[in-house]
Every structure is written in structure tokens, then in C-alpha cells.
Amino acid sequence: MAGKSTKTKTQAPAPPSRSAADGDDTVITALALAPAELTPAMRAYFDKCVEKLGFVPNVLKAYGFDMAKLEAFIAMYNDLMVAPSGLSKLEREMIAVAVSSENRCYYCLTAHGAAVRALSGDPVLGELMVMNYRAARLDRRQRAMLDFAVKLTAQPFAIEAADREAVREAGFSDRDIWDIAAVAGFFNMSNRVAAATDMRPNSIYHGQKRG
């Protein structure tokens, strides 16, 4: 109709989509701890992480306020998770995830769930480890290993000779039992530090090796 405005309303642009992991790469913990200057050895280690992984794991940045603590953490992690052992690297990562699932540790479930997916080549196994390892179709060796690690996590006071014998019967040596216990113990410690500090994993882990 003549004289009537023909203006049309323009729709406002949609706000950018947000992710539940937004901010996890910038606010790594809930503690205001200023990073220390990296030693040459730790700078080289961080550079190696970038070369091999494409990023520095946030847990290392979280420990970066104290070089002594950072170096001790890295040394223990590498000894338990990378050095020669009767346990495969995948088995050690499976322990990390089963223990972290028992403790509901967001950081370790995210980071080490991705490691299980990568080492196994099986995205479903990674998800099962995070949710409930008992639902996975594990062989007798793996099931005995994880049953021991999880009992050690939930009821350490209840570990007795029969528990060790069950692991031996599944094919593990006494040295292997030590390594299972050491890996489980390390991740119980790490889970508690992560929970206390609200440690956030690198967001890149969420999409890794999912098929």
C-alpha cells in the first residue's frame, strides 16, 4: 500500500557456538601460581612435546610453577609409562584410565582415554575404559590387571595374598605386579592433584583418534 514502510527486519547474527571445553587451554588450574622460568632441560622437553605431539600437555604447564616438582613429575611419569616394563604401553594407559574412571578425574580420563584410543587403534575401547572397563571384552590378563589396579584404588586396605595370586595366575610376574601397583599409585596421586586444582586437559584431546 502506498505510503506504508516496506522495511524488513534484519536478523541478528547468531552468537558463536560455545564448547564445554572453552577456556581449558587458557585457564589450566584454579590456582593462581605464576609459572617459573623453565630450565634449559625443561625448555628442551617442552620443545620436544611440541615436536612430537603438536602441543605441551597442560599438566606440565600446571607443574611449571616449580621446576623441582616439574622435573620430578616428568621423571616419574617417563619411568612408569615409557621405560621398559613387562606391561605394554597400552596396558599402562589402560591402568591409568581405569584408575581415573574410579576417581572420576576429568583431566586424566580425557588425556589418557585419547592415549588408549591411539595405542589400541580402537576408539570403542577408549570409551569403554573411560566409562566402565568391565563392559569391555578384555582378555583374562587385562581383566586381572585392571581388577587389581581398581581394587588398589578403591580399597587398598583390602589387598591380600589372593589378589596378588590372581594377577600371577593371569601371567604377570612379581615385577609386573610392582609396576601395576606403581602405575595405579601414580595416577591416584595425579587424580587427586588434578581434582584439588581443577586441572583442565588440552581441548585437542577430545577429538583425537575417534575413527
Establish if 146 belongs to a structural domain: yes
Same domain? For 93 and 196 the reply is yes
- Identity of the residue numbered 143: R
User: How large is the average pLDDT for residues 175-203?
Assistant: 98
pLDDT for the residue 68: 98
Mean predicted confidence (pLDDT) in 56-65:
98
Same domain? 73 vs 121: no
Q: For residue 56, is pLDDT > 90? A: yes
pLDDT at 207 (0 to 100) = 87
- pLDDT for residue 66: 98
Do 138 and 168 belong together in one domain? yes
Residue 53: CATH number of its domain: 1.20.5.810
16 SS3 class: coil
Q: Which helix (H) or strand (E) holds 203?
A: none
Residues 183 and 91 in one domain: yes
Domain boundary among 47, 63, 83: 83
Summarize pLDDT for 101-147 with one digit per residue, the tens: 999 999 999 999 999 999 999 999 999 999 999 999 999 999 999 99
How much is the pLDDT for 187? 98
Distances (CA, A) of 134 to 124, 181, 182: 13, 19, 22
Give the number of domains in the chain: 2
The domain in which residue 119 lies consists of 87-207
Residues 172 and 94 placed together within one structural domain of the fold:
yes
Which three three-digit cell numbers place residue 68? Answer: 623441582
Residue 164 and residue 70 share a domain: no
Residues whose CB is less than 8 angstroms from the CB of residue 174 and which lie 6 or more positions away in sequence, other chains included: 168
100 & 129 share domain: yes
pLDDT at 176: 98
Q: Comparing 12-16, 104-108, 207-211, which segment has the lowest mean pLDDT?
A: 12-16
Measure the CA–CA gap between 64 and 71, rounded to whole angstroms.
Answer: 9
pLDDT in tens, 161-182: 999 999 999 999 999 999 999 9
- Taking the C-alpha atoms of residue 140 and residue 137, their distance in angstroms, rounded to an integer, is 10
Nearest to 150 by CA among 209, 114, 96: 96
Residue 27 placed within a domain: no
pLDDT value of position 3: 52
Q: Has residue 21 been placed in a domain?
A: no
Average pLDDT over residues 25-47: 96
Pair (173, 188) in one structural domain: yes
Same domain, 98 and 175: yes
Report the CATH number at residue 156.
1.20.1290.10
Residue 61 lies in a domain: yes
Tell me what pLDDT residue 10 has: 53
**Sign of the dihedral defined by the CA atoms of residues 94, 100, 105, 107, in that order:** negative
Residues 51 and 76 placed together within one structural domain of the fold? yes
Residue that finishes a domain, picked among 68, 83, 98: 83
**Last residue of a domain, which of 49, 83, 117?**
83
Percentage of residues in the chain having pLDDT higher than 70? 91
Residue 106: the pLDDT is: 96
pLDDT for the residue 16: 53
Residue 39 and residue 111 in one domain: no
Distance between start and end Cα atoms, the chain: 59
Q: Which is it for the CA torsion 145, 148, 150, 152, positive or negative?
A: negative
Q: What is the mean pLDDT of residues 149-155?
A: 98
